[in-house]
A and B are shown apart, each in its own frame.
Chain A
Amino acid sequence: DAKTTQPPSMDCAEGRAANLPCNHSTISGNEYVYWYRQIHSQGPQYIIHGLKNNETNEMASLIITEDRKSSTLILPHATLRDTAVYYCIALPVYAGNMLTFGGGTRLMVKP
């Protein structure tokens, strides 16, 4: 699985968009980009995933560069409840693959 690199921490003002970057320069053609987040003392929560097209759901948007070497998770209107550690993971899609968690980005949403 491709290695991903994320900044260790970021701050965001409440109500503003939070843009979380992820570098995955060695990603292969069959690997998707997954985003999860972990709020303190809870299990990770799935946010979104994509292959090469931009994706949007009720939680966030995922922007993947054309060369697929990096991506950005966008929380359009961050709230205090979005404070969490966000993990970007590159993974092939089939049922057997386990997720390997790196350090993630600790997002602090401030009033």
Chain B
Amino acid sequence: GAVVSQHPSWVICKSGTSVKIECRSLDFQATTMFWYRQFPKQSLMLMATSNEGSKATYEQGVEKDKFLINHASLTLSTLTVTSAHPEDSSFYICSARDYYQGNQPQHFGDGTRLSIL
């Protein structure tokens, strides 16, 4: 079945550091991937839609210069949290769907827990 791999699974770093999170579709191609953020005891909130070969689309209130998204291939999207601060600490999750299987559901990575000290 469709598998989405997310790396790293957790990261702890100092304030001011930039952190890159990778999202890979392992056995299918995905022209579109999605990035979500989840704070404790809350539901997932969509941050941005990552489009292969073009600029990402950000949801209202999400700073595009803060959260850089690159979708350079049909199997890889990256989210870079630039100059991270403690308030950026959260659970970041990506999802993707098989471009060639129109009726297939989206599949999610296992998430990246980011802790900024």
Interface string of A80-101 (1 = CB under 8 A from B): 0000000100000111101111
User: Contacts A98-B34, A100-B46, A102-B43: A42 and B111 contacting too (C-beta < 8 A)?
Assistant: yes
User: Contacts A41-B113, A43-B109, A104-B43: A94 and B93 contacting too (C-beta < 8 A)?
Assistant: no
Determine whether the beta carbon of A44 is less than 8 Å from that of B93.
yes
Query: What separation, in Å, do the CA atoms of A102 and B43 have in the docked complex?
Result: 7
Count residues of chain B with CB under 8 A from any CB of chain A: 26
Query: What separation, in Å, do the CA atoms of A49 and B106 have in the docked complex?
Result: 11
Interface string of A11-52 (1 = CB under 8 A from B): 000000000000000000000001010100111111001000
Residue B95 is within 8 A (CB to CB) of chain A in the complex: yes
Residue B39 is within 8 A (CB to CB) of chain A in the complex: no
Residue A103 is within 8 A (CB to CB) of chain B in the complex: yes
Query: What separation, in Å, do the CA atoms of A101 and B46 have in the docked complex?
Result: 9
Q: Which residues of A contact B109 (CB under 8 A)?
A: 43
Q: Which residues of A contact B113 (CB under 8 A)?
A: 41
Q: Which residues of B contact A43 (CB under 8 A)?
A: 4, 6, 93, 95, 108-111
User: Contacts A44-B93, A98-B34, A98-B46: A93 and B102 contacting too (C-beta < 8 A)?
Assistant: yes
Residues on B close to A: CB < 8 A? 4, 6, 31-32, 34, 36, 43-46, 49, 91, 93, 95, 97, 99, 102-103, 105-111, 113
Task: List 17 extra interface pairs beyond A42-B110, A43-B111, A101-B36, CB under 8 A.
Answer: A34-B105, A41-B113, A43-B93, A43-B108, A44-B44, A45-B108, A46-B105, A49-B105, A95-B99, A95-B102, A98-B46, A99-B34, A99-B106, A100-B46, A102-B43, A103-B43, A104-B43
